[in-house]
Amino acid sequence: MRYDTVICGAGLAGITAALVSLSHGKSTAVVARGESSLYYMSGYLDLCGNGDNPWNAIDDLAHANPAHPFALSDAKEKSEALAFFVEQTSPGYPYAIPVDSRNHLVPTCTGGIRHTYLLPANAGADGLADRGRRVRAIGFTDYRDYSAQLMVDRLNKKGYSWTAAEVESGCSKVSQTSIDLASYLDDDYPALIDKLRPVVKDCDCLVFPAVLGFKKHRVIVEAIRDAFGTAVFEVPTLPPSLPGMRLSSALISRLRGLGGDLFWGFPATADNSAGDRCTGLIVDTPGRPRLIEGENYILATGGIAGGGALVERERIRERVFGLPVETYGTTDERFLFGEQGFARSGIRVDSDMRPIGPDGKIIYKNLFCAGRALAGYDPFTEYDGAGVAIVTGYQAALAAIRRWD
Amino acid sequence: MLPVNGIEHCLKCSICHAACPVARANPNYPGPKILGPDRGRFMMNKSGKTVPEVEWCTNCQRCEVACPHGVETASLIRALKQEALHEKKHYWRDLLMGYPHILGQLGTAFSPIANFMLGSPIGRSMTAQMMALAPDSSLPAYAGRSFQSWHRGQGHTASSNKVVYFVGCFANYNRPEIGQALVALLKLLDIDVIVPKQVCCGVPLLSNGFRDRALKLMSYNVQNLLPYVKQGYSIICSCPSCGLALKKEYGRELGTSEAARVGAAVYDSSEYLDIYGQALEEHLSAQSWRLTYHQPCHSLAQGIGTPSLSLLRKIPGVQVSFVDGCCGQSGTYGLKEEKSGVSRQIGRQLIEAITDQKPDLVATDCGTCSLQLSRLSDLPVEHPLVLLEKAARGAAAGLGDRYRPAV
Ligand SMILES: Cc1cc2nc3c(=O)[nH]c(=O)nc-3n(C[C@H](O)[C@H](O)[C@H](O)COP(=O)(O)OP(=O)(O)OC[C@H]3O[C@@H](n4cnc5c(N)ncnc54)[C@H](O)[C@@H]3O)c2cc1C
């Protein structure tokens, strides 16, 4: 089988690209070594900046840094990409575009406050918009990775008046991570509601760590809402991130539902035998390698965390095509929480999302690149991780389709 | 000493833990991150301390598939199982169940007696007690005649295109229709089927910690398959666990170039037929089935995509949906008295996802998955090969002659 589009990587960028390709009627395969950064991230999908207006932040960034991936699209294209993405999430784990196109103010699990753009239906948003809201944060005595009291204490210093309460989750697991709790609640959430009865009082909003179920999330949230007549929100936890997992699983079922093929679990390298064209991905599967062939290819293998970039002592290597990596900074920068030069390293592309070399020349005619693999941005200081992945995934797929047509 | 299999690449991100069906269902199971890389780091160069919890690993390998950094969690855990072998509570039961080809020969030779012991209420309760099996487990009925015996009576076609079939115990002794369907489909493509001498692939022994004994079965199979591979034949497996073992575990466990060479020639049956998808499509008649396809974990772990799904979608008129998840059966795991609760618990979510689709029938490639799915959903369950063959046989076929386990 020869596909119209072959995508390497099943993170936000790769899956967005795959869904665009499928929605244009193109046969599409995704090859992914494993689960993506969605499992690590909060599920708060940032567009740009830690301020009220992400669109101004985008303009500022693109202005200051013409090599930024956001400089490759205008606001209209970005809005289209985000709207397309949100539509894809609606059957499984619906996200929404903010009504006024401004960032939401959201809490973090240690009582920080930050901005983000796209939120799933029950994430911590409007609890922070209104300071007078009577919010009760619930923690679990048997969940080490989350303290409701810590979060509330720190938030209240910023002018809120939340209260905290703890209940036992009832999950008697030896190793209790977010996913253990969520799986437990998938089955036994009615017991949780009984445990909550004594502690839910004087509030119109309940906030939980994001462990309210994996498969049954919607049902659980509704059950709590119905039982107490309050709003229900989740705050992201340490990894694995349930909001990210739910999103990943929703996007992947969407992909399968639209007839996309998924080759899961093994790393790919490129077959570059034909000079200026990529002729296939060679996937290192058990027994023998498997060749996946297509008309166009999209590289969306992420950065260091996603596995697309390998940091060696002297250089950073792109692992699938061996593309030239534009490298910034050094790997011995000292301050952990400051700007890290290497974070901007990655693949440089032309306006059609095709990787180019230091000489500015296109490397393969039929190769496009999207997401964290790109050069020129730092999601950890710019708050644009999800935004870049979604927008460039969308653009790369459209560019591939244009070439095909 | 434990094999290191990429421990150094582990970020401790817990993706494997999130992917583990057992960790979700069994509160006492620490999960693949702790048993694999975490423990591996502590125990490097040390041995002697065994971990009884490893017993609960089903060897579904979903942890390895999910890991974005190639850490071989499942094989780390398997090595620990070996170390804990002599502390097994049900040593003899697990050993006996590790030889399905011998049980199968007896079972088909004396199928009325065997099926009484597995199927009738009295027989079943006796078998369950003797073998420490769950009283409500669904044991597969034995066929009156094995696939191999049927195939010996078939004669060969004149075709010079030939493939080798590694039948696997389930298709051989319990459900020869699977193998017969494969032969019929390949015949349509003018491909003749050779069935060399073979024994169990070794997976049941290996996943129960009996590595040394598994190696003997593996070597026997390599010896018998290698001559054909040398002549350029492909080997087809209709059972995903046999296929994964031949492709991956043989090379790794035996460590010989012969084993690797055999592994490189192995195809899952749908993986192979999918190559001829267009030619096959011409033979498929329209059907009105509403199917849900469940991909077995060991088919997922082969990295072949979902060829059965593509093939089933080629049958005109058929609606096929896909469900993701582990059914919890894992070979003999779900039959065992102490494990059947966890096994059922794992299967429950998958069953819910399946029944949500309201199918007439479930398709899955794995024999023991089919036992679990039919037991828990009460829906008929078929191997994709059998469905494809039905569609190829011509006129619209009913789903009437459904397969039921012995219960
Ligand atoms: C810890 C952490 C927290 C974050 N938190 C946030 C947040 O709260 N909000 C936000 O907006 N952003 C956040 N980000 C940033 C954001 O998650 C990423 O920038 C974005 O998800 C990247 O998406 P991607 O699709 O480009 O890559 P990834 O999600 O990394 O996906 C890469 C994919 O490629 C596959 N792959 C890699 N190599 C190969 C290969 N050789 N062959 C086949 N497949 C391969 C991987 O298995 C994976 O499926 C966070 C990032 C990290 C690391």
Q: Domain locations in chain A?
A: 2-95+245-404, 109-235
Residue B20 is predicted with a pLDDT of: 96
Give the pLDDT confidence of A226-279 residue by residue, as tens digits: 999 999 999 999 989 999 999 999 999 999 999 999 999 999 999 876 788 999
Is residue B81 domain-resident?
Answer: yes
Chain A residues with beta carbon closer than 8 angstroms to that of B67: 34-35
CA gap A377, A387 in Å, rounded: 11
Cβ contact (<8 Å) for A177 and B34?
Answer: no
Average pLDDT of chain B to the nearest whole number: 90
| Interface pTM, i.e. ipTM | 0.92
Whether the Cβ atoms of residue B332 and residue B57 lie closer than 8 Å to each other: no
Tokens 């990429």 found at: B6
Question: Which residues lie with the beta carbon below 6 Å from any ligand 1 atom?
Answer: A 8-14, 31-34, 36-38, 40-42, 44-46, 267-268, 300-302, 305-308, 319-320, 371-372, 379, 385-386, 389; B 68
List, for residues A385-396, the tens digit of each pLDDT value.
999 999 999 999
Last residue of a domain, one of B65, B87, B109: B87
Rounded to whole angstroms, the Cα distance separating B126 from A63 reads 79
In this predicted model, what pLDDT tens digit does every residue of A321-351 receive, in sequence order? 999 999 887 656 556 666 667 888 999 999 9
- CA-based nearest residue in chain B for residue A174: B28
A402: its two tokens: 């244009």
Q: Please report which confidence band the pLDDT of residue B87 belongs to, taking 50, 70 and 90 as the band edges.
A: confident
Cα–Cα distance for residue pair A370/A355, rounded to 1 Å: 10
List alpha helices for A103-165, DSSP H: 126-129, 148-156
Distance between CA A274 and CA B281 in Å, rounded? 32
Residue B285, domain member (yes or no) = yes
Predicted confidence band of residue A27 (pLDDT cuts 50, 70, 90): very high
pLDDT value for B121: 84
- Is B19 in the A-facing interface, judged by CB distances under 8 Å? yes
- Return the CATH number of A2-95+245-404, one of 3.30.450.20, 3.40.640.10, 3.50.50.60, 3.20.20.140: 3.50.50.60
Q: Is any Cβ of chain B less than 8 angstroms from the Cβ of A266?
A: yes
Indicate whether A191 pLDDT > 60: yes
Any idea what the Cα angle at residue A25 is, between residues A21 and A31, rounded to 5°?
A: 40
User: Is B398 a residue whose pLDDT tops 70?
Assistant: no
Question: For residue B397, what pLDDT is reported?
Answer: 57
Averaged over B277-287, what is the pLDDT?
Answer: 95
In a domain? residue B132: no
Domains A2-95+245-404 and A109-235 share a fold: no
Tens of pLDDT, residues A279-294 = 999 999 999 999 999 9
Please report the sign of the dihedral spanned by the C-alpha atoms of residue B38, residue B39, residue B42, residue B46: negative
- The rounded distance, in Å, linking the Cα atoms of A230 and A208 is 12
Q: pTM higher than 0.90, yes or no?
A: yes
Judged by a CB distance cut-off of 8 A, whether residue A161 touches chain B is: no
Q: Has residue B94 been placed in a domain? A: no
Confidence label for B406 from pLDDT (cuts 50, 70 and 90): very low
Is B402 among the domain residues? Answer: no
With residue A32 as reference, give the H or E element that holds it: strand A28-32
Residue B127 has pLDDT above 80, yes or no: yes
The model's pLDDT over A110-152, given as tens digits with 9 standing for 90+, comes to 999 999 999 998 776 566 878 888 999 999 998 988 999 999 9
Domain total for chain B?
2
CATH value at residue B16: 1.10.1060.10
pLDDT of residue B131: 86
Sign of CA pseudo-dihedral A285, A288, A293, A298: positive
Give residue A338's pLDDT: 63
The pLDDT score that the predictor gives to residue A332 is: 60
- Residue-level pLDDT at A28: 98
Residue B131 lies in a domain: no
Please state the atom number of ligand 1 nearest to the C-alpha of residue A15.
Answer: 25
Residues of B in contact with A305 (CB under 8 A): 11
The pLDDT of residue A242: 96
Asked if the peptide bond before residue B3 counts as cis, ω within 30 degrees of 0, the response is: no
Q: B46 pLDDT exceeds 70?
A: no
Domain C-terminal end among B35, B57, B87 = B87
Residue B155: the pLDDT is 80
Residue A290: list chain B partners with CB under 8 A.
303-304
Lowest mean pLDDT among A11-20, A324-333, B8-17: A324-333
Domain membership of residue B336 (yes or no) is yes
Enumerate the residues of chain A whose CB falls inside 8 A of the CB of residue B201. Answer: none
pLDDT of residue B1: 39
Give, in order, the Cα–Cα distances in Å from B8 to each of A141, B73, B99.
33, 12, 36
Residue A186's pLDDT band, with cuts at 50, 70 and 90, is very high
Residue B134 has pLDDT above 80, yes or no: yes
Contact B43/A at CB under 8 A: no
Share of chain B above pLDDT 90, in %: 71
- Answer whether A287 touches B (CB < 8 Å): yes
Indicate whether B345 belongs to any domain: yes
Whether B170 and B240 have beta carbons less than 8 Å apart is answered as no
> Which of B68, B87, B106 marks a domain boundary?
B87
A258 lies within 8 A of chain B by CB:
no
Residue B405 confidence (pLDDT): 44
pLDDT for residue A105 is more than 70: yes
Which residues in chain A are contacts of B248 at CB distance < 8 A?
286-287
Q: Considering only alpha carbons, which residue of chain B is nearest residue A10?
A: B68
| Residue of A6, A178, A301 to test ligand 1 pocket, by largest number of atoms within 8 Å of CB | A301
Query: Residue B74 sits in which domain range?
Result: 7-87
In which band, very low, low, confident or very high, does the pLDDT at B394 lie, cut at 50, 70 and 90?
Answer: confident
Contact B15 A180 (CB under 8 A): no
User: Which pLDDT value is given to residue B403?
Assistant: 44
Nearest to B300 among A172, A264, A267 (CB): A264
> How far, in Å, from the CA of A384 to the mean position of ligand 1?
12
pLDDT of residue A170: 86
Least confident interval from A205-209, B127-131, B355-359: B127-131
**Ligand 1 atom 33: residue of nearest CA:** A9
Question: From the alpha carbon of A303, which atom of ligand 1 is closest?
Answer: 30
Q: Using the beta-carbon criterion (under 8 Å), do B302 and A287 form an inter-chain contact?
A: yes
Q: What is the mean pLDDT of residues B334-362?
A: 94
Partner residue opposite B69 with nearest CB, options A36, A253, A307: A307
Nearest to A33 among B68, B247, B310 (CB): B68
Least confident piece of the model among A92-101, A311-320, B265-274, B299-308? A311-320
Closest ligand 1 atom, CA of A370?
26
For the domain A109-235, what is the CATH code? Answer: 3.40.50.1860
